[in-house]
Amino acid sequence: MDHNQEQMSLWQKLKSPSRTTSLGGLLVVGIVLGIFGWGGFNWAMEMTNTETFCVSCHEMRENVYEEYKETIHYNNRTGVRATCPDCHVPKEWIHKVVRKIQASNELYHKLLGTIDTREKFEAKRLELAKNVWAAMEKTDSRECKNCHNFEFMDLTKQERRSQKRHAKAQTKGQTCIACHKGIAHELPEGWDEEG
Q: What is the mean pLDDT of each run of 10 residues along the chain (195 residues)?
A: 60 62 80 94 92 91 93 91 94 93 90 93 94 94 92 92 93 93 90 66
Count of domains forming the chain = 2
Q: What is the pLDDT of residue 9?
A: 66
Whether 106 maps to a domain, the answer reads yes
Pair (141, 153) in one structural domain: no
Whether 60 maps to a domain, the answer reads yes
Q: What is the pLDDT of residue 1?
A: 57
Q: What is the pLDDT of residue 144?
A: 94
Contact (Cβ atoms closer than 8 angstroms) between residue 12 and residue 59: no
Read off the pTM: 0.77
Q: What is the pLDDT of residue 195?
A: 47
Pair (86, 176) in one structural domain: no
Pair (138, 48) in one structural domain: yes
Pair (130, 168) in one structural domain: no
Q: Which domain holds residue 173?
A: 149-180
Whether 55 maps to a domain, the answer reads yes
Pair (89, 175) in one structural domain: no
Pair (61, 101) in one structural domain: yes
